[in-house]
Structure 1
Amino acid sequence: MLAGGSGTRLRPITYTSAKQLLPVANKPVLFYGLEAIRDSGITEVGIVVGDTAPEIQRVVGDGSAFGLDVTYIRQDAPLGLAHAILVSRGYLGDDDFVMYLGDNFIVGGITPFTRQFHRDRPAAQIMLTRVPDPRAFGVVELDAAGRVAGLEEKPEHPKSDLALVGVYLFTPAIHDAVATLKPSWRNELEITDAIQWLVDTGHEVSSAVISGYWKDTGNVDDMLEVNRLVLEGLEPRGTVDDSCEVIGRVVVEEGAIVTGSRIVGPVIVGRGTRVTGSYLGPFTSIAENCVIADSEIEYSIVLRGASIRGVRRIEASLIGHEADVTLAPKVPNAHRLVLGDHSRVQISS
């Protein structure tokens, strides 16, 4: 499990938080991956960590809460997916393994793919999905028979619309491939180059185009979209007071207080949060110990300890830990002008 990236596309949130721990429906993205790994029958997990290692170790612990045995593997710098395999060599030994990117989200888990891998045991098994703009991904070209013919990392002129999903299954043959690599133009050891080496040297590389939903939650838009998808599966629970109107699937976790508000689900309200005189619209996740007062918000994620007071209206937003959002003080409307001689100005208000 890779959890060492810096999350540049999610700054400023990731200046202070690991991107893999940002919540989807009030649960860190990383947890969904760990649960998918567990559900596939795997029990031993090495988590590759970087600068955010203490935060990830504090939250995940020894893995026993997930039914897993977790070991932490230090990667001093994010030098590519293949580099993560290189630094994990001692942990992996000669075992087959799954490499799972910790900020990826796959509906339906990975169990069908691990079963297929155990049955056929190719040198590598990759998962693909069709994307509108492949230039942002590792791209795979298949031949007329559907076999993997070529791979490129973030090509300027993609040869297909098939992008690599962030889950890979390997036999120990991948170590021989990684040992041959030189840093790419990005100064990284590219997993696409390693898999290409397997293809070129006659190893079997199988692929499957996934039919379910997949997202790399590397930016705010993708985080909000995954949050929307997960919230659609909520089972309502919890209570609000009689002054509230609740429509649709709403979860109010234990210890949350909701008064004088209108909630249109799917919505989740975390433990210890207080919502008063507000509107919570569809696809909104409010984490624990937040305050939402006299405000309106929908299609948004609010992280632990944030407060929103007297604000209308917030949409499609990601609000960080302990953030404080308030109404700006009212000031007189005025125009400030510096006009040259003989100017002619028309002002509509």
Structure 2
Amino acid sequence: MRIIIPMAGMGKRMRPHTLTVPKPLIPIAGKPIVQRLVEDIAKVCDEPIEEVAFIIGDFGNKVEQDLKNIAQSVGAKGSIYHQEEALGTAHAILCAKDSMAGKVIVAFADTLFKADFKLDTNADGTIWVQRVEDPRPYGVVKLNDNNEITDFVEKPEEFVSDLAIIGIYYFRDGEYLRSELQYLLDNDIKDKGEYQITNALENMKNKGTKFTPGVITEWLDCGNKNATVYTNQRYLEYIKDEEGLVAPTAALENAVIIPPVYIGENVKIQNSVVGPHVSIGDNTSVYNSVVSNSIIQKDSSLKNGNIANSMLGNFVYYEGRQSDLSLGDFNTLTE
């Protein structure tokens, strides 16, 4: 099994946090979003992951090595491809055409999920979906009586289905997917000015490919600050019984910790209340503060603060009062 992860976008809705770090590397409960995604996909697969191909922009050598390490964490080879220009989802995926062989999962890196199904790798293809109250902002699928997908409808104005496509796809034949994506580019077939995977899916269906839905139990977005803080909250609930959520090197002095929390290596917490639903990265200090439902990344310092529903980046210094914060890397703010 191979996983292909397009993640070359600039993450504009997550600024300032994506000015220095690609959005998929922002931590959720102590691990980067993209690592959570790879691990969650591995859990629904009954066979080993042999390669994870990341499609990125110009993110630098350190990011590329971090991504390769994420692949290695699930026993896979990590491959790096570059998308020089944003020309749509089909174009992005095709940047990794050299890795499209055999069974392939395509997963866009701003989507996390929880599922209680096991992937049927004998199916022609599977499209991850979730029921939503208002399907109008999404691409949706229609099913027949055999639980096969009959139609893909993009942002329907009138109700046709409440099964929204979440951005994760399985294909039994990676070479076939590659040829269908290449066909779109060779014939300049676009939708709204871009090459879209949904056009390839429609062509494959019309040629007899049978797509089935993989219905997930929860779909978690990391598109903006509030959504990411909420996703961190949900993940901490999922993993609250795991060992090691509070690192043994964390120094806690006169500190009240309200689970679930993640506290990284060499964190210092003094005269403070932390939790619930707080993640604190390595080498960060919290003094005389109250923190709940927030993400504080690495090498930062919080003093005399009362924060909730907040994100603080790396190398942030904040000293202040009660706040709902979104501070990017290398910021200093005192009040």
Q: TM-score, with normalisation over the residues of structure 1?
A: 0.79
AA in 2 matched with 1:200: N
Q: How does 1:11-30 map to 2 (within 5 A)?
A: 11-30=15-34
Unaligned segments of structure 2, at least 5 residues = 322-335
AA in 2 matched with 1:174: L
Displacement after TM superposition at 1:69 (Å): 1.0
Q: Distance in 2 between matches of 1:55 and 1:183?
A: 34
Displacement after TM superposition at 1:145 (Å): 5.1
Q: How does 1:262-301 map to 2 (within 5 A)?
A: 262-301=256-295
After superposition, the Cα gap between the structure-2 partners of 1:158 and 1:302, relative to the gap in structure 1 and judged at 3 Å, is farther
Partner of 2:106 in structure 1? 99
Unaligned segments of structure 1, at least 5 residues = 239-250, 329-349
Q: 2:207 aligns with which of 201, 205, 213?
A: 201
After superposition, the Cα gap between the structure-2 partners of 1:38 and 1:125, relative to the gap in structure 1 and judged at 3 Å, is closer
Partner of 1:184 in structure 2? 191
Q: Distance in 1 between matches of 2:146 and 2:242?
A: 47
Q: Does 1:254 find its partner at 2:248? A: yes
SS in 1 for 2:121: helix
Q: CA deviation digits over 1:268-305, x for unaligned, max 9?
A: 21112111111112111111111211111101111112
SS in 1 for 2:232: helix
Q: Distance in 1 between matches of 2:297 and 2:41?
A: 26
Q: CA deviation digits over 1:22-46, x for unaligned, max 9?
A: 1111111111222244453221222
After superposition, the Cα gap between the structure-2 partners of 1:222 and 1:55, relative to the gap in structure 1 and judged at 3 Å, is farther
Partner of 1:225 in structure 2? 230
Q: Is the 8 A contact 1:38 1:67 kept in 2?
A: no
Q: Is the 8 A contact 1:33 1:104 kept in 2?
A: yes
Partner of 1:318 in structure 2? 311
Q: CA deviation digits over 1:296-323, x for unaligned, max 9?
A: 1101111112221112x21111111112
Displacement after TM superposition at 1:53 (Å): 5.1
SS in 1 for 2:64: helix
AA in 2 matched with 1:314: I
CA RMSD of aligned residues (A): 2.4
AA in 1 matched with 2:176: A
After superposition, the Cα gap between the structure-2 partners of 1:198 and 1:230, relative to the gap in structure 1 and judged at 3 Å, is same
Q: How many residues align?
A: 306
SS in 2 for 1:252: coil
Q: TM-score, with normalisation over the residues of structure 2?
A: 0.83
Q: Distance in 2 between matches of 1:325 and 1:151?
A: 47
Q: Is the 8 A contact 1:278 1:293 kept in 2?
A: yes
Q: CA deviation digits over 1:203-240, x for unaligned, max 9?
A: 32222322x222232222332222112212223767xx
Q: CA deviation digits over 1:159-182, x for unaligned, max 9?
A: 322111222111233234323432
After superposition, the Cα gap between the structure-2 partners of 1:130 and 1:34, relative to the gap in structure 1 and judged at 3 Å, is same
Partner of 1:343 in structure 2? none
Partner of 2:86 in structure 1? 78
Q: Is the 8 A contact 1:151 1:193 kept in 2?
A: no
SS in 1 for 2:80: strand
SS in 2 for 1:277: strand
The answer to which structure, 1 or 2, has the higher relative contact order (CA under 8 A, 6+ apart) is 2
Q: Does 1:174 find its partner at 2:164? A: no
